[in-house]
Amino acid sequence: MRGLSVLASIGGAVLLQVATVHAQDTLPDPTLPETRVDDIVVDGRPIEVIAEEFVTTISAPPRRRGLARWSGTVCIGVVNFRNDIAHLIIDRISEVAESLDIRLGDPGCKPNLIIAGTDDADGLARTMVERYRSQFFRFGYTRSNRGSGALAVFQDTDAPIRWWHISLPINTVDGTPAIRLPGRDYWVSPCRQRSPFGGRNYRFCEAITDHLSRLIIIVDVDQVAGRTAAQLADYLTLVSLAQIEPDSDYSAFDTVLNLFDPDMQVTGLTDWDLIYLAALYSGEDERLDPREQAARMVPALRARQGD
């Protein structure tokens, strides 16, 4: 199983002590859901404007940071789901990740993307934050995450699914974090280092990019009842591969993020979602703001509009 790790621990420590619960009573769909092919443009505004609004609505990078993406190996761990549903979730995330050239860990790898099902989402979230606040949720650097206000919401939201991303600014020269991490020396930019021949090492001066490093997703199994396993897997795929804003109104757009809106009909990942992910993982490894992300989406949206 690609990128598979069905587990009950995080970083070697016990994640939770609860009885295993089923994600839903609905039998899982053995086939992967079809991509929606509805019209891309929903109003008369220029596609560039609509794309930028979409990106701004769904994206949630830390303050003063770019949109982050996975760059190293991703190891997916799923806990407290039936094995068949856990495997379907992992397979769907893996399928989309591989299409984006994201490297997946081998079976038994140490998870850095964990999806936990529970019938007490608030309790699990609070317990995890209490135990792993400095090691994970507020990991040594405030702009690695969305901040203390968002963390408070994470522990006390009524959303069916909640998540917490950790990302780091990365030096594209050698792939090391471009910040000082706990217990390590202060980071010195290559651009500030003196050459032994005098002057600066300008030939080593490269851009800083933002990479996802860890992610926890908590699924309230009672609130997702009634959705198919395939729909749930598609929703979790988008949240797993991009920094998604949990508190936006997505109803103006055709996206799987509307899965829990009773007024919307959602079958799975849409063209908007897949084009968003393709744009996020395309191009140079550089800092990416919402406007640049939207610009990357436009050619694919135009091509879809012309179908």
Q: Please give the helix or strand (H or E) that residue 126 lies within, else none.
A: helix 121-132
How much is the pLDDT for 24? 36
Which residue type, as a one-letter code, is found at position 257?
A: L
Residue 97: burial class (beta carbons within 10 Å; 0-12, 13-18, 19+): buried
- The pLDDT value recorded for residue 132 is 77
Distance CA 271, CA 274 (A): 5
Residue 290 confidence (pLDDT)? 87
Question: What is the model's pLDDT at position 283?
Answer: 75
Question: DSSP code of 245?
Answer: -
| pLDDT tens sequence for the chain (307 residues) | 444 444 433 333 333 333 333 333 333 333 333 333 344 444 568 999 999 999 999 998 877 778 889 988 999 999 999 999 999 999 999 999 999 999 999 988 999 999 999 999 999 999 988 887 766 666 555 567 777 778 888 889 999 999 988 888 766 666 665 555 554 544 455 555 444 545 544 444 557 778 888 899 999 999 999 999 999 999 999 999 999 999 999 999 999 999 999 999 999 999 999 999 999 999 776 777 888 899 999 999 988 776 5
For 272, what's the count of Cα atoms within 13 Å in the CB-facing half-sphere?
25
Beta strand extents in 148-247 (DSSP E only): 161-171, 208-220
What residue segments make up the domains of the chain, in order of their start?
4-172+207-305, 173-206
Residues 135, 10 contacting (CB under 8 angstroms): no
pLDDT given at position 166: 85
Residues 6+ apart with CB under 8 A from 305: 39, 40, 41, 47
Helix (H, G, I), strand (E, B) or coil at 90: helix
Instruction: Please report where in the chains the tokens 């443009």 appear, as a residue.
Output: 41
Question: Given this model, what pLDDT does residue 306 score?
Answer: 63
First to last CA, the chain: 36
Q: How high is the pLDDT of residue 171?
A: 65
